[in-house]
Amino acid sequence: MRMLAEQAGVSKKTLYNQYSGKDALVLAATAEVLENITTQVASVESGISRIVAREQAIYEQVMNTPEYALAMTQALLATSAQNALVEVLINQSILRTQVELGHARKKKELNEDLDELFLARSLVSQSWGVLMLWSKGCIPLWQIKSDLMCAQLNTLVGVSKGAKLVWLKDTRSIYQTTKISVRETRS
């Protein structure tokens, strides 16, 4: 809390007056970041487009504040399943994704015979998997965007149909091309 107070330019007492402890402060900051992302993608067409836009917004957040993203990923990996951070970062993400998949199904963007809850869990776990790999030093920061987006897009391509499937394939090819170009540049 001392370091947080110093970075915020306030006293520790001020922080404790606002928040009951470090966990409450982390939850408040996390909720604010996620609300900003939700607001940012609210104008995007519901369904698959919003799922993709949300993933792009998460990437932008990671790139803008990599220290915060790293701290959240490490905290999530270190916490128990009952911790409020799991609710905010995982369970609420699964619910939001499941809602968007429901919209996609109504719009006939998805195959009829899929389990929306399982797919939502898969998509959320892919995102956290990429962030975990980055937090453990297995992938560099510059590779997060292509890995996040390709993981999501590959999964969505497998369950989508119609015009949305074509859009997803086109979008995926952009990220795959970007991934190859960046890899060649960095080699």
Q: pLDDT means per 10 residues in the chain (187 residues)?
A: 64 75 76 88 96 94 90 87 88 95 96 94 96 94 91 95 96 76 46
Q: Set out the domains of the chain in order of their start, with CATH numbers.
A: 2-186 (1.10.357.10)
pTM: 0.83
pLDDT at 1: 60
pLDDT at 182: 45
pLDDT at 43: 96
SS (H, E, C) the chain: CHHHHHHHCCCHHHHHHHCCCHHHHHHHHHHHHHHHHHHHHCCCCCCHHHHHHHHHHHHHHHHHCHHHHHHHHHHHHHCCCCCHHHHHHHHHHHHHHHHHHHHHHHCCCECCCCCHHHHHHHHHHHHHHHHHHHHCCCCCHHHHHHHHHHHHHHHHHHHECHHHHHHHHHHHHHHHHHHHHHHHHHC
pLDDT at 187: 44
